[in-house]
Amino acid sequence: MAMKKNNRKKKLSIIGAGAVGTAAAQWAVCRSIADTIVLLDVVAGLPHGKALDLFQTSPLYGYAGNIVGTDDYADTAQSDVIIITAGLARKPGMSRDDLLEKNVRIIREVTEEIVKYSPDACLVVVTNPIDAMVYTVFKVSGFPKHQVVGMAGVLDSARYRAFIAQALAVAPSDVTALVMGVHGDHMLPLVRLASVGGVPIEELLSKDEIENIVGRTQHGGAEIVQHLKTGSAFSAPGLAAVEMAQSILKDEKRVVPCAAYLEGEFGINGVFLGVPVVLGKNGVERILEFPLAPDEQEALQKSVEAVKKQVSATGL
């Protein structure tokens, strides 16, 4: 007997109509991942204008859903997934930690509104510093851990893969690589697990070349900030968030590195940290745990210390 399809319409809301939120909305439209896409911002007219602009691309993209611009959280009611991009972006000379105090206040207010209208939504947090902001959302919302996840490793791993592909002049889609840990200078791009078409990169690149790629990955966001002067990365972060949202909305069971709440996995407790997870209709459905080499475990511990420092600064 044929299985019945779940025809319930899907709703995606994006909080924050800045560069990252707008990019996420555009990628969501391009991929047609939800029947309704809501773009919300507190700046009067901003989300309305951007949503209208996106709506006018629908004949070109082939998107047949509804695109809503709003400053009213009631319009986000009963969302399946909510991407949170609200907050201040980094400027040159500013670390992710510098953002923490101001963005904690913003994210607290955003989360309180979300909970009122979408208590069953999965929340994808993009706001920096991500590992502290996702912890803030988790604590303020009171949601179960599987419903709250941070976008970090998807972006960092994409940067890692892009730099490897560039160095080897190969298709980026043929590069497999994983970045774990904090979304910051202490992130852990795993070298021994990185490969091109199944061939380990350690067989294809010199130690110096690999070290350069790892360092560039760790400072990938700062490099873009230095170029832009008055802003930070937006296109890749927006797509990374949509990649996660799509896996949840379509129950794809994608294995992606995300900031998930750890309770003993990899010997770590009580923090959100970038690890490989399975994303499905319930959010974080499981964490894929595997043995780390001693140097990898040591590097991951540095990530834990950095995140704990950030979390302590939130006051939650």
- CB 210: neighbour CB atoms within 10 A? 18
List C-alpha distances in Å: 3 to 6, 34, 56, 251. Answer: 9, 22, 36, 16
Map 231-297 to HEC letters: CCCCHHHHHHHHHHHHHHHCCCCEEEEEEEEEECHHHCEEEEEEEEEEEECCEEEEECCCCCCHHHH
- The Cα 255–Cα 286 span in angstroms is 10
* Active-site residue, selected from the candidate residues 48, 146, 183, 227: 183
The verdict on whether 48 is a catalytic residue reads no
Are 57 and 29 contacting, i.e. CB atoms less than 8 angstroms apart?
yes
Whether the Cβ atoms of residue 65 and residue 37 lie closer than 8 Å to each other: yes
Contact 12, 81 (CB under 8 A): yes
Distance CA 29, CA 248 (A): 16
Active-site residues, by number, are 183
